[in-house]
């Protein structure tokens, strides 16, 4: 399901298969019921109240979910469909109010049998008419959305329209029944099926059923199955010769099945959103913390995570080390071979740095430009120094082919500054960073392509970074040297 909602999400082959299977099952049940439709069944006084309450709840839930989708995705087709199921819920409420014993011993609203039939007819015409309106507006507007400023008003209209339609239909059926032709003649309920009005009911429902399956997306596919169930229920109700027959009861139940089908489909589609939302959130988070070129973490992640790792390491009484890495003469390489070559160098260096990340809490980040940072938790100062030296040697043997000259292989070197904060040290992330940065300056000052380790605790080096702090250098075959941590770095 994409970001514009279920109306624009094309149905998969699996969805078509399931929808077809459900529709085939409904058709078989309809044929079976029609075969024994005139079989009388004992009168069940609780059937109408129970089925009406269930229809109010299920149709109301479907209408509510569609209103929510409409509010979020702003697709007018969903709004019309919401009104259609709202109309069904309101009609079921009227039926419940007109049934004796549902609320009081007498009916809350007194309807004659003729008026009740006409209210049902209005419902069976109004529902497919709203479905046709949903399909039509989808064809006319395509994927164009309703402007956000108009959405509150549109939602209000979709919510209020069913109540208004049902109220007007009830008023007309009760107050002006004499203007309407009789639908029940001498107790025969089947006369409607052969009347012109019956042809209208058949026609508008068939047209709605055909039209709703045309768009081919997830929403209209399952809406079509729901309309098909409603069509079967309307057909059974229309052809029932009398009340309390198998056909009549089945027609009433089919209406509930229609709403349940779409409710289940909507719930399934909402359920499908959860893994998509989780993946989208994960992708968004990774995009916010990862460097787009090298795939390692970015400066923002480093700034947030280093203090967190320091706090966790202190609680667990573990040392934390920071290795600052700078590619030597990177600007010169960039200027000579071009930015694509420079990007390739950054990617290859980041790959070698990632190979050293093994423990929970360890991470590598691109600190800026050609500079990287590597945080190692739990390793001793000597172990971190050995890891840094091993990484430097792996990068030193790298050979990268420039795109403009495939016969030339360019070597890379890096300078590294290492600082370790023991569990008892009082320095914070800024102190650790200052110590490692000072050691990196020392490595640059002594000729590059080497590892320099801050000799004193990071807490003591905070003011000493600009005051010629001592560092111990490794490199050039393992020779130790003492340099000036305050020297300037080239290419930074």
- 143 carries an active-site annotation: no
Nearest CA among 389, 367, 387 for reference residue 377: 387
Structure tokens, 34: 């029609």
Query: HSE on the CB side for 207, CA within 13 Å?
Result: 17
DSSP state string for 15-60: HHHHHHHHHHHHHHHHHHHHHTTT-B----TTHHHHHHHHHHHHHH
- What element of type H or E holds 455? none
Rg (CA), the chain: 37
334 vs 95: CA distance, rounded Å: 80
Nearest CA among 53, 43, 22 for reference residue 221: 22
* Sheet architecture: strand order including 450-454: 363-368, 371-377, 320-327, 414-421, 450-454, 470-475, 481-484
- What element of type H or E holds 453? strand 450-454
- What element of type H or E holds 267? helix 246-289
267 vs 129: CA distance, rounded Å: 25
Contact 356, 387 (CB under 8 A): yes
232 exposure class (CB count in 10 Å sphere: 0-12, 13-18, 19+): buried
46 exposure class (CB count in 10 Å sphere: 0-12, 13-18, 19+): exposed
230, 247, 269, 370: the catalytic one is: 370
- What element of type H or E holds 418? strand 414-421
| Residues in CB range of 471: below 8 A, 6 or more apart | 417, 438, 439, 442, 443, 452, 453, 454, 455, 482, 483, 485
Q: In which residue are the tokens 């419902």 written? A: 123
DSSP 296: S
Active-site positions?
Answer: 370
């Amino acid at each position: 399901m994409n970001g514009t909602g279920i109306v624009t999400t094309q149905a998969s082959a699996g969805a078509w298969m399931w929808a077809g299977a459900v529709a085939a099952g409904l058709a078989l049940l309809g044929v079976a019921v029609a075969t024994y439709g005139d079989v009388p069944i004992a009168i069940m006084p609780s059937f109408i109240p129970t089925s009406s309450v269930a229809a109010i709840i299920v149709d109301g839930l479907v209408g509510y979910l569609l209103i929510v989708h409409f509010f979020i995705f702003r697709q007018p087709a969903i709004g019309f469909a919401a009104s259609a199921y709202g109309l069904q819920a309101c009609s079921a409420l009227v039926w419940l109010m007109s049934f004796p014993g549902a609320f009081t011993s007498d009916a809350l609203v007194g309807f004659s049998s003729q008026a009740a039939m006409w209210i049902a007819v209005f419902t069976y015409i109004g529902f497919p008419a709203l479905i046709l309106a949903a399909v039509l507006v989808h064809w006319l507007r395509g994927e164009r959305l309703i402007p956000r400023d108009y959405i509150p008003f549109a939602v209000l209209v979709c919510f209020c329209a069913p109540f208004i339609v049902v109220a007007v239909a009830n008023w007309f059926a009760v107050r002006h029944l004499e203007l309407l032709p009789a639908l029940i003649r001498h107790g025969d309920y089947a006369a409607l099926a052969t009347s012109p009005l019956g042809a209208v009911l058949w026609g508008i429902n068939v047209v709605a059923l055909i039209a709703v399956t045309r768009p081919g997306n997830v929403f209209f596919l399952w809406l079509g199955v729901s309309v098909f169930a409603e069509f079967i229920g309307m057909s059974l109700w229309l052809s029932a010769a009398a009340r309390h027959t198998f056909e009549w009861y089945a027609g009433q139940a089919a209406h509930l099945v229609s709403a349940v089908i779409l409710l289940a489909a909507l719930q399934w589609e909402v359920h499908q959103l959860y893994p998509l939302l989780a993946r989208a959130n994960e992708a968004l988070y990774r995009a916010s913390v990862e460097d787009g070129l090298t795939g390692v973490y970015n400066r923002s992640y480093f700034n947030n995570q280093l203090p967190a790792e320091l706090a966790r390491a202190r609680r667990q009484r573990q040392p934390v080390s920071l290795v600052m890495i700078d590619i030597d003469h990177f600007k010169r390489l960039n200027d000579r071979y071009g930015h694509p070559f420079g990007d390739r160098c950054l990617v290859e260096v980041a790959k070698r740095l990632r190979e050293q990340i093994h423990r929970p809490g360890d991470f590598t980040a691109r600190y800026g430009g050609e500079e990287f940072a590597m945080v190692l938790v739990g390793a001793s100062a000597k172990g971190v120094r050995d890891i840094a030296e091993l990484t430097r040697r792996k990068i030193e043997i790298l050979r990268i082919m420039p795109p403009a000259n495939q016969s030339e292989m360019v070597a890379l070197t890096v300078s590294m500054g290492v600082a370790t904060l023991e569990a008892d040290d009082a320095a914070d992330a800024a102190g650790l960073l200052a110590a490692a940065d000072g050691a990196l300056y020392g490595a640059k000052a002594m000729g590059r392509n080497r590892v320099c380790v801050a000799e004193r605790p990071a807490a003591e080096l905070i003011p000493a970074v600009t005051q010629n702090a001592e560092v111990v250098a490794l490199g050039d075959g393992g020779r130790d040297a003492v340099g000036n941590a305050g020297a300037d770095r080239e290419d930074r």
